[in-house]
Amino acid sequence: MRTYILRRLAISAPILLGLTLVTFIFTELMPGDFVDALIPPLAIVNYTPEQLESMRENYGLNQPAPVRYLIWLRELGKGNMGKSLISGAPVRDEILQRMPATLQLTATSLLFGIIFGAVLGIVSAVKQYTWIDQMLTLLGFIWISTPGFVFAIGAIFLFSLKISLFPTSGITNYGEEASILTRVHHMFLPALVLGLGSMAGFMRYSRSSLLDVIRQDYITVARAKGLAEKAVLLGHALRNALIPLITIVSLDIPFLIGGTVIIEHIFAWPGMGTYSLTAIYSRDYPVIMGVNFMVALVVLLSNLLADITYAFADPRIRYE
Amino acid sequence: MSASELSETLDAPSRDSVQQRFWRRLFRHKLGMVGLVMLSLLVFAAIFAPLLAGVDPATMDLKLKNKPPSAEHILGTDAIGRDVWARLVFGARVSLSVGLVAVGIYTSIALILGSISGYAGGQVDNVIMRFTDIIMCFPTFLLIITVAAVLPPNIFNIMVIIGIFGWPGMTRLIRGQFLSLRGQDFVIAAVAVGVPTRRIIFRHILPNVVGPVVVAATLGLAGAILTESSLSFLGLGVQQPTPSWGQTLTTALQLPILENMPWRWLPSATAIAFAVLSMNFFGDALRDAFDPRQHLD
């Protein structure tokens, strides 16, 4: 097990370096820089080229790209992700401040997606080809095909405007101390909408995985020795059927984060999604770099975690 | 018994060709056929948009602002008196063309990278695959909005942006196919008798990769349309006056419009789900038809 973990870590290290390089290159490829974004298009005639040049120098934008990359990398190692060009605050602090809200939202919707996805998938598999299975299949297609923002709009329309069940935006009521209850109340709709997309995938996957396992010889053996169907299912089939879900969940995380951007925007959720969108609109490069890198890091770590969890759950993996 | 007689006897229960079986499986797939019909409707709407719309989607009539559906404007009008139905129908053009071009771009990239990686193997494969791993760590959507915010938002740029970030998944798929086909007897035999590499790739391997790629591209089309609508929804995609479904939905963020003028957002919301659903249905049917063993259920 230890060698397996070490090997996974060794594979991840160059990828981590690659992440920093790619983040930097992407930012470099963008036309225009912060100085361009800072000055309104009509006001640019009021500046002399020298003034613009000295502004660029002030922000350190005149160094050659490789130098800026190395400086950025060195500072990143120290935990310094630069300062936001808009607010002047350290990017790391701003990210850390917004991270909990996003983690709360994504973790809840992921959990919701996994639990309901797995349960519905199992129901679908056990009742294969019945009307329940067919209905769930159809629903799964609809859930996967409807973008989060369409769900969000529909959910706000139904559950906030037509029936005032849930608030339309924010993390808590304005000017109010955030109690657990108001937080859950505010989180319900965004988490539901975010979770539905993942749920459909998990449902389909656990269905076909369980159907796959049920055909294995050891299940036939379990049935042959006279075990009750329930015991066969819960004690033998389910465990093995749900292991591959670990990988599917980790593969879903980039999409979940992508979805968070829009959902946070719609529900005015003060997390990383809203933060990155604001940064993108104002070309706040250090923030864009910081958020993209942090998110990629989270994805890398969750892949690593998934691989290790998988090896724990399925010993065959370790001896490959 | 001659060889041909023997093979006929063996094939006796199903004498039809692989192609025939493929079409039969495809047409027997109920949801797939529903998807095909839905897809045909969309393509029809996109091609004959000017005829179906009746009026120009960009023509404003400030006397007819925010009017509910009527005989003249069957889906009502928007904030500056444009016909919602016309914008919906023309939106199909935008969605389908963005989807097709974007998927075309990344399928080409994936075909090149995937076949090189899978056929060459070794260090080349290693480099390409590690690069793919790196890119896959970034949520595609985040990269797309990053670039979309900076490039001038026009329909051409949107196609290209979605196209250049879509390749990693498809590349892995094609590489995997190449890798497994590369080790199969018929390819080894072809190499052994001295068939040139070019011919092995184009004549012996690629035709076998077509199936999975077509499936992935169909499902990718659904994904690309989703991405385009999300981008346009965030104001980073197709810009006014060109109509786009996602862009129309932006107005639904204003609660009074959301609550009191459903005709302004409901058609576009439905259209997006309809389009994506049709491709997912059809893509699923294609997958089953190409490889019935893949789906055990």
Nearest CB among A23, A32, A149 relative to B249 is that of: A149
Q: Given this model, what pLDDT does residue A41 score?
A: 60
Contact across the interface for A262 and B234, Cβ inside 8 Å = yes
User: Which residues in chain B have their CB less than 8 angstroms from residue A22's CB?
Assistant: 134-135, 138
Q: In angstroms, rounded to a whole number, what is the distance separating the alpha carbons of residues B69 and B57?
A: 16
What pLDDT, in 10s, does the model give residues B51-97?
887 777 777 777 777 777 777 777 777 777 788 888 899 989 999 99
Q: What is the dihedral of CA A214, A217, A219, A225, to 10 degrees?
A: 150
Contact across the interface for B272 and A150, Cβ inside 8 Å = yes
Q: Which ranges in chain A belong to alpha helices (H)? A: 2-29, 34-38, 49-58, 65-77, 91-126, 131-145, 148-156, 180-214, 217-224, 229-231, 238-242, 245-266, 272-281, 285-313
Q: Which residues pair with B77 in a beta bridge?
A: B83
Sequence-distant (6+) residues with CB within 8 A of B43 are B96
| A314: helix, strand or coil | coil
Q: Given this model, what pLDDT does residue A39 score?
A: 67
Q: Given this model, what pLDDT does residue A48 score?
A: 80
| Residue to substitute from A145, A262, A288, interface B, most B β-carbons within 10 A | A145
Sequence-distant (6+) residues with CB within 8 A of B80 are B60, B62, B65
Q: Given this model, what pLDDT does residue B296 score?
A: 40
Cα A176 vs. chain centroid, distance in angstroms?
29
Q: Are A215 and B100 in contact (CB under 8 A)?
A: no
Q: What is the dihedral of CA A133, A139, A145, A150, to 10 degrees?
A: -170
User: Which residues in chain A have their CB less than 8 angstroms from residue B147's CB?
Assistant: 26, 29-30
Q: Which of these, A229, A246, A238, lies nearest to A121 by C-alpha position?
A: A238
Q: ∠ CA(B68), CA(B72), CA(B74), 5° rounding?
A: 55
Q: In angstroms, rounded to a whole number, what is the distance separating the alpha carbons of residues B205 and B111?
A: 12
CA atoms within 13 A on the CB side of B181: 25
Contact across the interface for A22 and B150, Cβ inside 8 Å = no
Q: In angstroms, rounded to a whole number, what is the distance separating the alpha carbons of residues A266 and A170?
A: 10
Q: In angstroms, rounded to a whole number, what is the distance separating the alpha carbons of residues A90 and A47?
A: 28
At B214, list the tokens. 């077509």
Q: Given this model, what pLDDT does residue B19 score?
A: 80
Q: Are A195 and A113 in contact (CB under 8 A)?
A: yes
Residue whose token pair is 């035999």: B189
Nearest CB among B137, B276, B296 relative to A145 is that of: B276
Closest-approach residue (CA) in chain A for B281: A141
User: Which residues in chain B have their CB less than 8 angstroms from residue A143's CB?
Assistant: none
Name the pTM for this structure: 0.85
ipTM above 0.90, yes or no: no
Q: Which of these, B294, B221, B223, B289, lies nearest to B30 by C-alpha position?
A: B289
Nearest CB among A26, A138, A257 relative to B139 is that of: A257
Sequence-distant (6+) residues with CB within 8 A of A10 are none
Q: Which of these, A99, A97, A253, A211, lies nearest to B142 by C-alpha position?
A: A253
What pLDDT, in 10s, does the model give residues A89-118?
888 899 999 999 999 999 999 999 999 999
Q: Given this model, what pLDDT does residue B295 score?
A: 46
**DSSP-assigned letter for residue B14:** -
> In this structure, which amino acid lies at residue A240?
N
User: Which residues in chain A have their CB less than 8 angstroms from residue B143's CB?
Assistant: 26, 292
Q: Which residues pair with A83 in a beta bridge?
A: A90
Closest-approach residue (CA) in chain B for A211: B297
pLDDT tens sequence for chain B (297 residues) = 455 555 555 554 555 677 888 888 888 888 889 999 999 999 999 998 888 877 777 777 777 777 777 777 777 777 777 888 888 999 899 999 999 999 999 999 999 999 999 998 889 999 999 999 888 888 888 888 888 877 877 889 899 999 998 899 999 999 999 998 988 999 999 999 999 999 999 999 998 898 889 989 999 999 999 999 999 998 888 888 888 898 888 888 888 777 778 888 888 889 999 999 999 999 888 888 887 655 444
Q: Given this model, what pLDDT does residue B240 score?
A: 80
Q: Are A291 and A27 in contact (CB under 8 A)?
A: no
Sequence-distant (6+) residues with CB within 8 A of B258 are A153, A156, A157, A161, B252, B265
Which parts of chain A sit beneath pLDDT 50? none
